[in-house]
C-alpha cells in the first residue's frame, strides 16, 4: 500500500492525532510510524519513505498481531503489565500523570507508546526504584511545553528496573 504525503488533518474526525509532519490520507492519521485508518479500523506500519512516497504494511491482522490504541482524558493513569505493547493517546488541558508498571524480568522487551494530544503537562512516572532512561530512581520523564500537542514518546523495558527510550522522542522531554 502506498500513500502520498499530505499535510492535511481533518479536525472533524474523532481522535485527531497531530504530528509535526503527518503522513496522512483523507480521514486517516499517522502517529510517528503507525497509521490508523479510521474508516476500516486498520493499522499500518511505515516501512519506507522514498521521494515523498510512504510505503506501509497492514499490521492490523487481528489476534496477537494487532495493536491496541487507548484514548484517555484521565488526570492519572496507572498502567499494569497488561497495558504494555499498546498505544496510549492522552488528551488533556491539565496536568496528567502516567504511572508505569514495575520493570520486571518477565516483561523485558515490552513497550508503551504515549502521545500527548492536549496542552496539559504530561508526566510519566517510574514505579518504585525503577528508572526511565537517565532519571533518578523512582523518577520521571515529562513534557511541559503547552504548544507541543504532538509530543510523543516510546518506552520499553530494557532490563529489570530500567525503562529506556525506544527511538527518539518527539517534543521536549526531560528526566528527573
pTM score, two decimals?
0.66
Give the integer Cα–Cα distance in Å for 38 and 155: 25
Contacts of 50 (CB under 8 A, 6+ apart): none
- 37 vs 85: CA distance, rounded Å: 19
Cβ count within 10 A of residue 57: 10
Tell me the C-alpha distance between 67 and 4, whole Å.
23
pLDDT tens string 38-61 = 566 666 666 555 555 556 666 665
77, 97 contact by CB (below 8 A): yes
Q: How far is CA 165 from the centre of its chain?
A: 11
Say what the pLDDT of residue 76 is: 96
Task: Give per-residue pLDDT as tens, 120-171.
Answer: 999 999 999 999 999 999 999 999 999 999 899 999 999 999 999 987 789 9
Rounded distance, CA 15 to CA 20, Å? Answer: 16
Q: Which domains does the chain have, with CATH numbers?
A: 2-58 (no CATH), 67-175 (2.60.120.640)
Query: b/e string for 76-94 if b means 16 or more Cβ within 10 A?
Result: ebebeeebbbbbbbbbbee
Mean pLDDT of all residues belonging to the chain: 77
pLDDT value, residue 64: 43
Q: Compute the distance between CA of residue 55 and CA of residue 78 in angstroms, rounded to an integer.
A: 35
Distance CA 160, CA 174 (A): 22
pLDDT, tens only, 85-124? 999 999 999 999 999 999 999 999 999 999 999 999 999 9
Question: What integer pLDDT is reported at residue 53 of this predicted model?
Answer: 59
Amino acid at each position: 500500500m502506498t500513500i502520498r504525503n499530505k499535510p492535511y488533518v481533518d479536525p472533524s474526525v474523532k481522535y485527531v492525532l497531530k504530528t509535526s509532519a503527518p503522513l496522512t490520507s483523507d480521514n486517516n492519521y499517522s502517529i510517528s510510524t503507525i497509521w490508523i485508518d479510521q474508516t476500516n479500523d486498520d493499522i499500518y506500519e511505515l516501512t519506507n519513505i522514498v521521494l515523498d512516497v510512504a510505503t506501509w504494511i497492514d499490521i492490523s491482522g487481528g489476534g496477537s498481531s494487532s495493536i491496541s490504541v487507548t484514548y484517555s482524558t484521565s488526570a492519572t493513569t496507572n498502567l499494569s503489565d497488561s497495558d504494555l505493547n499498546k498505544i496510549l493517546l492522552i488528551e488533556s488541558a491539565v496536568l496528567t500523570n502516567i504511572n508505569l508498571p514495575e520493570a520486571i524480568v518477565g516483561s523485558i522487551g515490552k513497550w508503551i507508546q504515549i502521545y500527548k494530544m492536549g496542552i496539559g503537562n504530561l508526566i510519566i512516572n517510574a514505579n518504585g526504584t525503577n528508572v526511565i532512561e537517565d532519571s533518578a530512581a523512582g523518577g520521571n520523564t515529562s513534557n511541559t511545553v503547552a504548544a507541543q500537542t504532538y509530543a510523543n514518546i516510546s518506552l520499553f523495558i530494557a532490563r529489570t528496573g530500567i525503562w529506556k527510550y525506544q527511538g527518539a522522542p518527539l517534543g521536549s522531554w526531560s528526566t528527573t
